[in-house]
Amino acid sequence: MISVQEADFDGAALTAALREGAGSGVGGIVTFVGYVRDYAPDSPTDTLFLEHYPGMCERELETIAETARARWNLDGTVIVHRVGALPRNAQIVFVAAASAHRGDAFRGCKYIIDALKTRAPFWKRETLSGGSSFWVEQRQSDQDRTDAWDEDSASKKEHP
C-alpha cells in the first residue's frame, strides 16, 4: 500500500491491515513513524510544509517498495507520507514491512525509509515560530545511507 495524503494516519490500523493482508506466514512486522521536529537550532519549528510531485512521487515510492520486496523476503509493505502544512510533532511518515523473519522485516523497513528520504520527490519548507521560513536541504548523511544500500546490493551481485 502506498499513499501520499494530507490527512493524518492511524499506525495501529495500518499495521493491522498489513498483518491481515500479508497472511499467516508472517512472523513479524517492523514499523517506523516519523514526526515533524525542530530543524533549526536557534528557533522552534512552527510548521513544516511538504510539497510533492503527484503521480511521480507515488510511482517512486512503489519502486522503492518493490525493490525492498525483491531484496528481502517481505510478505507486504506499507508507505504513507503526508503532505501539506504539518505542525511540530505531527506524524509525517509511516513505513512498515512484514516478513516471516525479523531480519528481513527490519532491513526492508530501514531500506524503505532511507531510500524515500533521498529518492521520492518531496520538498520541505520549514516555518519557524518567529515567522521566517526556509527550504530544508537534503543531508549528505541521508544520501550516504541510501548509497550504502546500493553498494551492498552491488557487492552481493558480484560476490554471491
Q: Residue 65 has which C-alpha cell?
A: 517498495
Query: Residue 142 has what pLDDT?
Result: 63
Query: Residue 87 has what pLDDT?
Result: 93
Cβ count within 10 A of residue 70: 10
How many Å apart are CA 2 and CA 17, to the nearest integer?
13
How many Å apart are CA 149 and CA 106, to the nearest integer?
14
Q: Looking at residues 3-26, what average pLDDT do you find? A: 95
pLDDT in tens, 88-145: 899 999 999 999 999 999 999 999 999 998 888 889 988 888 888 877 777 766 666 6
**Residue carrying the nine cell digits 523476503:** 73
The whole-chain average pLDDT of the chain stands at 88
Q: Looking at residues 71-80, what average pLDDT do you find? A: 96
State the pTM of this model.
Answer: 0.86
Cβ count within 10 A of residue 119: 16
Q: How confident is the model at residue 159 (pLDDT cuts 50, 70, 90)?
A: very low
β partners of residue 48: 86, 126
Residue 133, SS3?
strand
Q: Looking at residues 136-160, what average pLDDT do you find? A: 63
Cβ count within 10 A of residue 78: 25
73, 101 in Cβ contact below 8 A? yes
Query: Residue 143 has what pLDDT?
Result: 67
Q: How confident is the model at residue 44 (pLDDT cuts 50, 70, 90)?
A: confident
